[in-house]
Amino acid sequence: MKNARLTNEQLLVDESLLFVGNGYLGLRGNFEEGYPSHFQTIRGTYINGFYEDVLINYGESAYGFPKTAQKMLNIIDGQTIVIRIDDDEFSLFEGEVLSFDRKLDIWEGYNERNIDWISPKGHHLLIKIRKMTSFEQLELAVIEYAVTSVNYSGNISILSTLDGNVINYADENDPRVSSEQARWLYVDNVGIRDRNFAQVTSVTKQSGLKVTATMGHDIDVEYEVKENIIVAFKHDSIQQGETLTFSKFLVYVDSVRSKESENEGLKILKEAIEKSSQYWFDIQKRHLETFWKVAKIEVDGDASVEEALNYSAYQLYASAGRDAFSNISAKGLSGEGYEGHYFWDTEIYMLPFFILTQPDIAKNLLAFRYQTLDMARDRALMMGHKKGAKIPWRTISGTECSAYFPAGSAQYHINADVAYAYIQYYLFSQDIDFMKQIGYEVILETARIWLEIGHFDDKGQFKIPAVTGPDEYTAIVNNNYYTNSMAKYHMYWVCKLSREFGETDVEWYRKMQKQLIIDEAEIFEMEKAYQHMYLPYSEELGIYWQDDTFKDKADWDFESTPKNKYPLLLHYHPLTIYRYRVLKQADTLLAYFLLDHVSEEIMNRSYDFYERLTTHDSSLSPCVHSIMAAKLHKAEKAYQFFMKTVRLDLDNLHHNTKDGLHIANAGGAYMSIVYGFAGLRIKEDGLHLNPIMPKEWKRICFRIYYQQALITITMAEKLTIETTKPIEVVVNHKAYTIEDEIHLEYEVTSK
């Protein structure tokens, strides 16, 4: 019987699902030996923040359009390993496969294949393959083989390659993937180092970046160089019942982080081989034991949900940049969708997981926006602003990569999104030093944009025209509710921090005033703007309009839209979509979730109004609807949207998991538990919980850091809160002081 996971369609999905990454280096879950020639593969190895600058070709251009964009590159391929016995080459598509399984072990940090195979000539082998990228030595990947002969005695050959002839994947029919397949990386040097190690160095033409891949093995091999490919081979013998083991070590070093990539790569590789592959698998397990002590989510009542949630947490951890040169792309390091670009996804959907469980990584991710702030300032000037910073919609290096401005550059809300993430980190950590060192400057510079693009009308209301909100099916509108409400929050915090820091550290604030040219009149203007922010409201419906145009549009004809016409962006002209009330994703509801600033009555009416108009064509959408449904005690809806979130990639619900995992959706799955069912919010007055338990589960347990305390929150028949230091928490609007552990009765209502 044919294994269902050996179809080409499923193999492409599994390449994403089973990728191994560590935030710096990512390898897709490719078969080392490859597929049949008529099969498609997206064979990929990626470094976070390693890119090429490419020209953007416009049919018609205009002033201020970005001229170049960055593209994450598929780099030197070191995954290939081929096994031959008696001239039969091991392949799951030849001979007879008695059994085959593969998995990603999220607890120990590797993917694994186990194969029971009979070759075309009848030779019976058991093959076990483990592959990992190290969390301890970020540049290192290890592939370990164990080949056991059941009935064969004779010759066995091992062939292992390091291949510089790589290209990026392209799909001209999907705007979410690059449409241009081309060679962006060129081999600069190929050679054998110290007789035992192979090395390929490749360079980009435009960005001037360099990457070196160094390969070694824990067995003696011979080398041959063939047109930018280094082939390592070993001829050996194996006896019936004997197991042959060997490991391949790969080290990738790039010029973003190292000036001596060749020497640095060789040094790391030598030390790695000396320690053995088992050492690296053991230390990987110990590293993740520490991670899971905080990050693990427990759900009693559905083991598959618990598994999927922790899979999401692991993918977040495996995708997050570990330095100020990198961030988290929309697909992480699992594929080439969205060309490896960083979006607002990081700040709104991914950072919450790190703020709550891995605050040091959260600081690195936030620092990226500070590291690239000068480029955001340049972008603001290019777009006609006199000062301030315009955070790019899509980027890798810090410059804008979005060629389609109505759904890209016009999303000014990303400035407020970045500020919101800094504020959330500050409220959770109380890390005043971090805020003074970089946070305040980022928040101030990004807030200046609001005074540039907004204005006071003749009634004294502050309005923001010509922007696009999170909903990409509604573009270039006046007074998008999400944008205006987030801008209001943003400016409020600039004024608040200016006052507080100015009073508590006068010397520091004077330094900032001089360095950033802060005029107190400007701070006063921000205060006036947020106090008089216009938010479009319908008295008739009792809801906030998504924008000024929304009330004048007809609803999209959902009944006449076939299922095969979704997502709409692939089947309808943008202008057709823009003319109707139809949402790609949560917009106004997202503002309600993040700011928690309007009455539940308005939230309830808005939820019913906007949910029926939402296609959820974006992977960012179901989690917000789950969170808001939980907030409003719509338990059944909350659970339904949660299941669409947590299973999105595992079940390939959007039919594009082959292009990489939806890492923001992984963050959304985490938020659906913590912010949704547990009802967690962090506000100026502290930590709030409003729990609601789905009837399908018996218990939820998770841990978070809050102001240097590690808190364990357990929802079952009672709500139990444990803490490592005294904290104050508000549960269902009642305040408690917790010094060790507390058990609370809580009422769960649903509709």
Alpha carbon distances (Å) from 498 to 103, 413, 452, 492, 722: 51, 22, 19, 10, 35
Burial of 269 (0-12, 13-18, 19+ CB in 10 A): buried
Sort 462 into a burial class: Cβ within 10 Å, 0-12 / 13-18 / 19+.
buried
C-alpha distances in Å from residue 21, one per residue of 13, 338, 397: 16, 18, 20
Residue 205, amino acid: K
Please identify every residue annotated as catalytic: 472
Query: How far is residue 350's CA from residue 620's CA, in Å, rounded to a whole number?
Result: 11
Q: In a 10 Å sphere around its CB, with 0-12 CB exposed, 13-18 middle and 19+ buried, how is residue 417 labelled?
A: buried
3-state secondary structure of 51: strand
CA distances from 587 to 34, 473, 694 (A): 43, 10, 25
Measuring CA to CA, which residue among 316, 430, 449 is closest to residue 376? 449
Contact between 21 and 332 (Cβ < 8 Å): yes
Three state DSSP letters for 557-607: CCCCCCHHHCCHHHCCCHHHHHCEECECCCCHHHHHHHHCCCCHHHHHHHH
Judge residue 245's burial from the number of C-beta atoms within 10 Å of its C-beta, 0-12 exposed, 13-18 middle, 19 or more buried: middle
Residue type, 173: N
Non-local (6+) Cβ contacts of 303 within 8 A are: none
Helices (H), 42-187: none
Angle at 131 between CA 126 and CA 133, to 5 degrees: 170
Q: How far apart are CA 161 and CA 598, in angstroms?
A: 60
Q: What is the DSSP letter of 477?
A: B
> Beta partners for 715?
700, 719
Residues whose CB is less than 8 angstroms from the CB of residue 418 and which lie 6 or more positions away in sequence, other chains included: 344, 347, 369, 391, 442, 446
SS3 361: helix
